[in-house]
Amino acid sequence: MPRAPHVAARLAGLAALLADETRAEFCLALLDGRAWTAGELARRAGVAASTASEHLGKLVEGGLLSEDRQGRHRYVRLADPQVAHLVEDLAAQVAPGADRPGTLRAASAGSAMARGRTCYDHLAGRLGIAIVAAMTERGLLHQHAGFALTDAGLRWFADQGLVLERAGRRPLVRSCLDWTERKPHLAGIAGAVLCRHALDTGWCVRIGTERAVKVTPDGERALGVLLGIAPATLR
């Protein structure tokens, strides 16, 4: 079936947006789900403020980022969960560990990211994979044809007081290929609600300037009681 030429052109344009290393670095940084200023992203990528502004303008115009202005500051974030899914999926195509860390600090940061991190608004890394495995083993989640919460899974969220508000076209649950573990972690509305709850209750805390999160002792106890996850798995 022939495709409309404009679709091919738009696809090529989207690919071109991410073909630049600085713009790709910005999108990876924004996978933490938070809004960043142009200056913060410029420092992260090691480029001049004027260069960052030019790249951000292209990403906003291309629909990958949204922006808000407060006074002199310009804040940007990924446009929506679908963009985050695209960026994470593309990152998963790059073999993790292909490049040896140049410093001990880089190695430590990479280890922390692999152990646990946020992927936009849900949990990823070994932490995210452990949660999926535990939910599947307990019959809360099945993976027969993609992810789906079982009736027991819906009750589990309700029992924790976690409201799964359906809004727009975002699915209740969705698998997201983890770029370090090469296995799917939990995304969608349920993944976002669980991640927010983990951060709000102190089960997890953000560490460093990357997306890395660390499970606290309270989190280890809670995840052990609620999902049967062994503490050693989370360290």
Q: What pLDDT score does 32 carry? A: 85
The answer to whether 204 and 214 have CB atoms below 8 angstroms apart is: yes
User: What is the mean pLDDT of the segment spanning 141-168?
Assistant: 92
User: What is the mean pLDDT of the segment spanning 212-230?
Assistant: 96
Model confidence at 156: pLDDT above 70: yes
| CA-based R_g, the chain, Å | 19
Q: What pLDDT score does 94 carry? A: 73
Q: What pLDDT score does 109 carry? A: 62
Q: What pLDDT score does 105 carry? A: 55
How many other C-beta atoms are found inside a 10 Å radius of the C-beta of residue 179?
Answer: 24
User: What is the mean pLDDT of the segment spanning 69-86?
Assistant: 87
Per-residue confidence band for 181, with pLDDT thresholds at 50, 70 and 90: confident
Q: What pLDDT score does 155 carry? A: 97
Q: What pLDDT score does 108 carry? A: 61
Model confidence at 97: pLDDT above 80: no
Per-residue confidence band for 8, with pLDDT thresholds at 50, 70 and 90: confident
Q: What pLDDT score does 71 carry? A: 79
Q: What pLDDT score does 95 carry? A: 55
Q: What is the DSSP letter of 94?
A: S
If phi > 0 it is left, if psi is from -120 to 50 it is alpha, else beta; for residue 104 that is alpha
Average pLDDT over the chain reads 88
User: What is the mean pLDDT of the segment spanning 67-76?
Assistant: 85
Q: Which two tokens stand for residue 32?
A: 């933490």
Model confidence at 96: pLDDT above 60: no
User: What is the mean pLDDT of the segment spanning 32-58?
Assistant: 92
Q: What pLDDT score does 211 carry? A: 84
Q: pLDDT per residue over 104-154, tens digit each?
A: 455 566 788 889 999 889 999 999 999 999 999 999 999 987 899 999 999
Question: In whole angstroms, what is the distance from residue 150 CA to residue 155 CA?
Answer: 9
Q: Which two tokens stand for residue 57?
A: 């303008």
Question: In whole angstroms, what is the distance from residue 48 CA to residue 180 CA?
Answer: 30
Question: What are the residue ranges of CATH 1.10.10.10 in the chain?
Answer: 5-79
Provide the CATH number for the domain formed by 5-79 in this structure: 1.10.10.10
- Which residue's structure tokens are 């589990």? 156
Q: What pLDDT score does 74 carry? A: 82
List of E strands, the chain? 36-37, 65-70, 73-78, 117-119, 122-124, 141-142, 148-149, 174-177, 184-187, 204-206, 213-215
